[in-house]
A and B are shown apart, each in its own frame.
Chain A
């Protein structure tokens, strides 16, 4: 395990209120090279947390550190290392995949020599090469999600923040995405993802955090979480911890 690894992401007393607390004094550390699954019931504050990490929402209080860089103090440097993939892909209907990847690579300031082979590899890997010259408006949900993932990976981020990355994907596409995430972690990258498909978290994640009412109520490996409860599957553990069983 990576107990001594430096923190890829460190949240300290992070809070955000929308009339009521959405995230309430959240402390969380994700180590480099780990795949961390953040679970929680609907409205628990998962998406709000990820949006604050991606720099899309300013926290009311607390701090976000990405590889030791304070997001509030130095947002440009902190964002250079991360990619954020929301549940609704951030795409342009009237752009082709090649143009979309050119655009994202331009936003992250990637050199052509690095971006071109990476784009070809990603489109091949995600089985999108034969659609590379079609407008994305005609793509299926799964194809859009895969293209957004390619966009997220075009600048080789060290930290991937994924909100429900498998929503709407068929079995084959879901397998491709899971393989890609595992490959990213094997290569030393870090992944933080939310999912309602508990089996995915159980199989992929090295550590799992469970969040409710904006607070982290449990965290650890799957075995550690089982020991905190009466055992069973992750679904059983999750329902016991969130008091829904």
Chain B
């Protein structure tokens, strides 16, 4: 695709390239060659072919009603899937809007060029659309292609629907982000948009988990509430616009046309009415400094803390003031909510599985914090130049790393303590073990990095990431077996879980040993 320098197409190519680099598809380890290499391309092509095979096998089992009007149940199901995909698209759109507005830092260059601000905004928005759409086209179009091969031509609607949905999600995300800028200012917008982006991505998972885990009677009650609304002629009946996306995916012409027109209209209106404010928002982002009102009586200090205290306070402050980091860690914690819900509703019968999951999540959270606090230290030279032993600094950092996960676990553990003290004690042990070993492994295997690389922290440190994962799995397996034995009703239990627990304890110890042996010179 040849595009003249300075043309909209040329700028769009630049936008798309930037979207994928920022989505970490590029090889960050080799800055001189950031595109996808031959090996990477082969991997993506292989994965694309594999999805085709899976889609073919799946669709062969399903009667998609070739040539006939699709049954309403299918339309409802497809609409539900559309809603899930759309919530994820909104999440991507919000992240991309924050990124292009506040973080990429190339708007001064673009706005000082002889291109119109409207053109720049249109292309920037189109870049987000293409970026979002291509991810979903990659995973969903194999179903359309496989459907075509099986005679289910209706699934070809996936192509236009994904593009339209990406257009709507990108436009709404940009409108929402710019609206937040107007309401809250740039600084708060970054925080709020990133947190909402993380929440909207997890929303569907949480709803599905909540519905799947409630008691059958509750599900029947919910179904009872919705039944009158879903009846023909009711608000959510078969003719309701709420099912329009599902009908569009299944290639019904009118819904498809309506969805396309909505997407085009939202895109055009977003560009028409917000491109000036986009420029304004971009200018605000450049002068992002918060001018805080100085407190009366001059600056206040809290000197006199010990070395450990100043380091712990510093680490927690830096994390608390990093909304991007919080939203990413928050996302991990959000996935714990269904587990806590399960614990409260079916704690007795599913305790081993829940204990295992909680132990694994504690290890993951601790490893993530350890990366932030140890690897992504902003001023390592300041610490090295200080007249204190590095082991004391590392000890303080380990405390900062290890405290949050057990604190978050305190409530579920207390709840278990009231029901099954022995199980609570065992879970305390596995949580403490997983947290401590995860922190040590992350510290020993730490490689200097920038905080902004949090999402790609596994790259370039395969050994550390592998040890971290195996350590978490070993401790969670151990938690499972110990809790299973503690809740077993038999009078003469099988010795195999005990052997399994001993084996997992050995694996966990081996991971710690490997971590210690592979520690860097500084550690």
Write the residues of chain A forming the contact surface with B, with a CB cutoff of 8 angstroms. 54-56, 75-80, 82-84, 86, 90-95, 97-99, 101-112, 115-116, 119-120, 123, 129-130, 132-135, 137-139, 151
Q: Which residue from chain A places its CB closest to the CB of B292 in the assembled complex? A: A133
Q: Does B304 contact A (CB under 8 A)?
A: yes
| Contact residue among B299, B309, B317, B384 (Cβ-Cβ distance under 8 Å from A106) | B309
Alpha-carbon distance between A93 and B379 when the two chains are bound, in angstroms: 10
Verify B307–A135 contact, CB threshold 8 A.
no
Verify A120–B384 contact, CB threshold 8 A.
no
Verify A137–B303 contact, CB threshold 8 A.
no
Whether A132 touches B299, Cβ cut-off 8 Å, given contacts A103-B310, A108-B387, is yes
Q: Does B33 contact A (CB under 8 A)?
A: no
Q: Which residues of B contact A116 (CB under 8 A)?
A: 301, 303
Counting chain B CB atoms within 10 Å of each CB, the highest count among A98, A102, A116, A139 belongs to A102
Q: Which residues of A contact B289 (CB under 8 A)?
A: 134-135, 137-139
Q: Does B149 contact A (CB under 8 A)?
A: no
Q: Top 3 closest A-B pairs, CB basis?
A: A138-B289, A106-B310, A112-B304
Q: Which residues of B contact A137 (CB under 8 A)?
A: 288-289
B103 CB → nearest A CB, Å: 13
Verify A120–B385 contact, CB threshold 8 A.
no
Verify A90–B290 contact, CB threshold 8 A.
no
Alpha-carbon distance between A91 and B292 when the two chains are bound, in angstroms: 19
Alpha-carbon distance between A116 and B305 when the two chains are bound, in angstroms: 12
Whether A107 touches B382, Cβ cut-off 8 Å, given contacts A102-B310, A133-B292, A137-B289, is yes
Verify A106–B290 contact, CB threshold 8 A.
no
Verify B305–A92 contact, CB threshold 8 A.
no
Q: Which residue from chain A places its CB closest to the CB of B325 in the assembled complex? A: A94
Give a binary string over B184-207; 1 marks a CB under 8 Å from any A CB, 0 the rest: 000000000000000000000000
Alpha-carbon distance between A115 and B288 when the two chains are bound, in angstroms: 31
Alpha-carbon distance between A68 and B383 when the two chains are bound, in angstroms: 23
| Contact residue among A106, A119, A139 (Cβ-Cβ distance under 8 Å from B306) | A106
Whether A107 touches B301, Cβ cut-off 8 Å, given contacts A94-B317, A130-B294, is no
21 cross-chain CB contacts under 8 A: A54-B384, A54-B385, A76-B389, A78-B387, A84-B381, A84-B385, A92-B314, A93-B378, A94-B321, A95-B317, A95-B318, A107-B382, A107-B383, A109-B388, A110-B303, A119-B299, A130-B294, A132-B299, A134-B289, A138-B290, A139-B289
Verify A106–B387 contact, CB threshold 8 A.
no
Q: Does B386 contact A (CB under 8 A)?
A: yes
11 further contact pairs, Cβ within 8 A, besides A79-B386, A101-B301: A56-B384, A56-B385, A90-B381, A102-B301, A109-B388, A112-B303, A120-B299, A134-B289, A134-B292, A135-B289, A135-B321
Q: Which residues of A contact B318 (CB under 8 A)?
A: 92, 94-95
Q: Which residue from chain A places its CB closest to the CB of B291 in the assembled complex? A: A134
Give a binary string over B279-317; 1 marks a CB under 8 Å from any A CB, 0 the rest: 000000000111111110011111111110111011001
Q: Does B322 contact A (CB under 8 A)?
A: yes
Verify A104–B301 contact, CB threshold 8 A.
no
Q: Which residues of A contact B293 (CB under 8 A)?
A: 133
Q: Which residue from chain B places its CB closest to the CB of A115 in the assembled complex? A: B303
Verify B379–A91 contact, CB threshold 8 A.
yes
Alpha-carbon distance between A111 and B382 when the two chains are bound, in angstroms: 19
Q: Which residue from chain B places its CB closest to the CB of A128 in the assembled complex? A: B299
Alpha-carbon distance between A75 and B294 when the two chains are bound, in angstroms: 39
Verify B385–A132 contact, CB threshold 8 A.
no
Instruction: List which B370-418 residues lie within 8 A (CB) of chain A.
Output: 378-379, 381-389
A206 CB → nearest B CB, Å: 25
Verify A107–B381 contact, CB threshold 8 A.
no
